[in-house]
A and B are shown apart, each in its own frame.
Chain A
Amino acid sequence: MKILRQKHFEKTSDTNKGHRGEIFSLVGPLFLWMLLFLALPLVYVIIISFLEKGIYGGVQMIFTLENYTALWNPTYGKVIWRSIVLAFWTSLICLLISYPFAFILSKFSKKYQGFCILLIMLPFWINQLIRLNGWSNILRDSGTINTILLKLGIISEPITMMYTDGATLFGMVYALLPFMVLPLNNSISKLDYSLIEAAHDLGASRISTFFRIILPLTLPGIFAGTIQVFIPSLDAFYIADVMGGGNSTLLGNLIKDQFMAARNWPSGAAFSVILILFTLIVLKCYTKVGNLEDLA
């Protein structure tokens, strides 16, 4: 998982192409690094996904396509679909929260902007699992919110918030929000304010200016942010584990379970390959749109 995450960072930051000479001088160590930590594990995963499962875990060196054909199963299909839907909602909610926030932020002075971004980043230096468990303590049936509401007599039965799809969604949004705010802020703060004035000058109302000028010009940030939220939310099994309990199995959980619980490495590897392929497709779409952005 870690490797995969790393990979998509590489990809997205690649859009800022530097000078060729600089790249060549960096390419040696980078190449070695990529080979060791990216290419080799990837090849390893791909190979395993075509082998038979060993009797007590591990693998047998026998070629098979069974790991992939086994994926052609309605139960798995449902999980994958659920993951995609959840990733979609996570991205959308993150976007709807972050866009106005980033926009307001961009109006502040540079110094204040940096401070606000620091405030956003601050919680993320604490381990994510600890923070998610914190939320669990606040939201569960005997948690802070329910206790207070019960004591005040506003409710008579605790409201079930934890271990629902809603809780998983909340956890996802909470965990991934900064990955949306940062690229959006980057894109919006680069927006030349005189373009907005020019649009007003030419008779465009605020709404029209938003759709014809601001939105198209911040599209790169929207895409970058969406990618950076969408892909991690596909495989963030720990969030589904902590917030959703056993109730919300996602693609990430499935992979984890294949490796850990079922000790079926080849099957887990096949899932991972599918997830990687899916990620690549999304990224490909992104660069397509990104390129179109440059052309359009």
Chain B
Amino acid sequence: MIKTDREPIVRLSGVTKDFGKSEVLKHIDLDVYEGEFLTLLGPSGCGKTTTLRIIAGFETPSRGCVYLEQADVTALAPYKRNVNTVFQSYALFPHMNVFDNVAFGLVEKKVPKPEIKERVEKMLDLVQLKNFGKRKPHQMSGGQRQRVAIARALVNNPKVLLLDEPLGALDLKLRKQMQMELKHLQKQLGITFVYVTHDQEEALTMSDRIAVMNNGVIEQIGTAQEIYERPKTKFVASFIGESNIIEASVTGFDGGLIELTAENGVVHGRGSGFVQDEMIYISIRPENTRYSFEPVENFRLRGIVKEHIYVGSIIKTVVALPNGQRLRLNQHPHSELPAIGSAVTVYWDMDKAVIMHTAEDTLYDLIEDALLNRPDLAVKQGRRAEGGKSF
């Protein structure tokens, strides 16, 4: 596993990026450790590519610093940084054959010719393009070009490899296969990967750690399991996997349990750090959501079974709450299904549910706007943040 007591190989410290008036990255803090596979995951436009380009040096942060191996490289030109990038479009040099493409970086470093030949051939072998050296990029398939792009970067033995949606242009089957190959390659070579994708499944299968981004902010960093099982924000819960998210307020503390009152009923949960009357979200995965015809202790959440959706390995049962919100419950395909129209109580294992503050997203903005001396914005958001004032 990743040893966090070590110094990070890449560190972004308070990195902010403005393009004109729009703030694309808002105070990004990120540490990447040697040998790890870290994924930046988020929807299109959230700032993943910009973050990667700042590490590579193609963009300079508006504020904040970039460190590579503890050295401040914020102002260092890209060609002086010991990182390599696999571009989303591959960016292979069309006038050079595969061998020359892969050899490009070594030629720049004035590596002796015989050594270049040896290293390039070894690398082409590694990405299973042994006899393709003489081909031109346009004579190759998408998957093969992808491998050339990876070989061209890896042959330089970079400390860190940056990959921007490298599999985005491939069809599903090839993508799955390349995911495995990339993962093996990374483990085999022990090179640190910073990998960008908007595909949560890809992120979950490949990464040691995932940084979930939204609107220029890293909402949560953790292992796939941590992110999936303990999402910290509503966005993370809904972006990664499916979640039933119920808005409620804290209405009481009852022994170890918190009483949570939603529009449609009262449920209980476990957790700490919540205060009376605070607005919260309860997030519960469909596979952990259950129904019962009988009353359930601590759960007074009733709904009507609306439909069963067969999706192969499971059946999704949809239960509508009185306010119209639809909850999804995953069932075994062979289990007995409740009749459509029947009234049921929805419940779950309290340890599997996650209770989240609602104000967390806005609190950071509020502090930053105050720091930036923009009272106009602080006032505007003040109302939104009021719910969180009490903690």
Contacts and interface: CB of A to CB of B under 8 A. Distances in A.
Chains A and B form a bound pair: yes
Interface of A: 192, 194-195, 197-205, 208, 212-213, 216-217, 293, 296
A202 B156 contact: yes
Given A197-B87, A203-B156, A217 B94 contact: yes
Given A197-B87, A201-B79, A201-B84, 6 more contacts: A195-B91, A198-B87, A202-B84, A202-B108, A203-B108, A203-B109
Interface in B70-120: 77-79, 83-85, 87, 89, 91-95, 104-105, 108-109
A112 B215 CA distance: 31
Given A200-B78, A201-B84, A194 B91 contact: yes
A200 B79 contact: yes
Contact of B105 (A195, A203, A216, A296): A203
A174 to B, nearest CB: 33
Contacts of A198: 85, 87, 91-93
Nearest 8 interchain pairs by C-beta? A202-B105, A198-B91, A194-B91, A203-B108, A200-B78, A200-B79, A201-B85, A216-B95
Contacts of B58: 197, 200
24 contacts: A194-B87, A195-B91, A198-B85, A198-B92, A199-B104, A200-B58, A200-B77, A200-B78, A201-B56, A201-B84, A201-B85, A202-B84, A202-B105, A202-B108, A202-B152, A202-B156, A203-B105, A203-B108, A203-B109, A204-B79, A208-B108, A212-B104, A216-B95, A217-B95
Contact of B78 (A194, A197, A212, A296): A197
| Most A-side CB within 10 Å, residue of B84, B89, B108, B156 | B108
Contact of B104 (A194, A202, A216, A217): A202
Contacts of A216: 95
Given A194-B87, A198-B87, A208-B108, A203 B95 contact: no
Contacts of B93: 195, 198-199, 213
Contacts of B57: 200
Contacts of B78: 197, 200-201
B116 to A, nearest CB: 13
Point out which of A194, A199, A203 has the most chain B C-beta atoms below 10 A from its C-beta.
Answer: A203
Nearest to B84: A201
Interface of B: 56-58, 77-79, 83-85, 87, 89, 91-95, 104-105, 108-109, 152-153, 156
Contacts of B89: 192, 194
A197 B79 CA distance: 9
A145 B92 CA distance: 52
A202 B152 CA distance: 8
Given A194-B89, A198-B85, A204 B95 contact: no
Contacts of A202: 79, 84, 104-105, 108, 152-153, 156
Nearest to B83: A201
B165 to A, nearest CB: 13
Contacts of A212: 104
A192 B79 contact: no
Contact of B95 (A197, A205, A296): A296
A205 B77 CA distance: 9
A217 B91 CA distance: 13
A192 B87 CA distance: 12
Contacts of A293: 95
Nearest to A212: B104
Contacts of B56: 201
B217 to A, nearest CB: 26
Nearest to A213: B93
Interface centre among A192, A198, A204, A205 (most CB of B within 10 A): A198
Contacts of A217: 94-95
A78 B328 CA distance: 91
A202 B157 CA distance: 11
A203 B79 contact: yes
A203 B108 CA distance: 6
B93 to A, nearest CB: 6
A204 B91 CA distance: 15
B60 to A, nearest CB: 14
B311 to A, nearest CB: 39
B88 to A, nearest CB: 8
Pick the most buried of B79, B84, B85: most chain A CB atoms within 10 A of its CB.
B79
Contacts of A208: 108
Contacts of A213: 93
Contacts of B85: 197-198, 201
Contacts of B152: 202
Nearest to A198: B91
A220 B78 CA distance: 28
Contacts of B84: 201-202
Nearest to A202: B105
A70 B133 CA distance: 56
A224 to B, nearest CB: 16
A204 B108 contact: yes
A199 B153 CA distance: 11
Contacts of B95: 216-217, 293, 296
A296 B87 CA distance: 23
